[in-house]
Each structure stands twice: as C-alpha cells, then as structure tokens.
Structure 1
C-alpha cells in the first residue's frame, strides 16, 4: 500500500513527493525530473505537451536544507524581491523579508 501523501512518477515509480513535473494537458501524468528530461511518453501523453513544475517549496536548490541550503520557494522569493525592488537594493528587500515572516 502506498504511503499517504506520497506521490510517484507514473513512468518509473520513483518518489516525486518533493519535486515532480505535471503535464498540463493530460490528467494524472506526473513525472520525476529524470523521466521528464528523457522525454517519457505514457498513453496519450507526449513529450511536447505543456507542463508545470510542482515542488511545494521543499525542493532544495543549493545543498541540503539541514546545512543551510535554500529551498526553491526561498529562491523564488529572492528573485521576486529582486524584480520588485531592483538588484542591490538590500535594505528594502530585508525590510520586506522581515515583514513577511511576522
């Protein structure tokens, strides 16, 4: 029996709970990054279909979180702040960051 809350790649059955690629055109098609990169096609799903990345913000981009690594959600927050306040405007960014945590 599958663990509740866990997600699995429909192609290779790898655990994709933290990061998966969801087809925007086919229902119930979620792939691991490896199968997506290899162009896996299952049933009516084709590799050229639109897609979206689903990670819940838990996928670590820069090393393990336990060692101070960043999650994809934290990376996206940084990029959003740079876009909004401009690169190098760290005072406004830090003030916004502090207010977001409160």
Structure 2
C-alpha cells in the first residue's frame, strides 16, 4: 500500500497543489473563476430552482394518522396559543396529538 501511495497518489497531490498555486498567482486565474461562475454555477442554480418549484406544485397526500403513545407527547403545554401547537406549527403537515387538522 505504501508503494502505491509513494508512486501514484503523492505525486498527484503535489501536482494538483502546484497547479492550484499557479492558478491563483496568474492574472488569468480571475478570468477562469469568472467563467466558472457564469457557465457552471448560474445554470446549476437555475436547475435547482426548477427542481424546487416543480416539486412545490404537486403536494403529496398526507399519510394516514396513527396515534402512537411515544409521538406528539405534551407533558407541558406551550406558552403560546392554545398550548397544543408548536411555535412553527404547519397545519398542512404537522399533526396534533389527536390527529391532523381539518
């Protein structure tokens, strides 16, 4: 294993390190990162937005409510509202101890 490391892996890391050091010192390095930003990052962000918005349009149906003893326990009531809903309660997703809100 050490021969493999000395012969293949270590020279590759040192070559990559020297390439990165040279890239930062040359004036064209800024041009490279500008191109990477506009040609790679911007389309990637656009694809992520399309993915997020397409998933947001089709809401998934809620699974059937099963009342387990170890879930949604309220030993102490919340200090706001009726005491059953958490601070970030979402009636479309979060269930109360008795079931989903209608």
Q: Which has the higher helix share?
A: 2
Structure with max Cα Rg:
2
Q: Which has the higher strand share?
A: 1
TM tier, smaller:
under 0.3
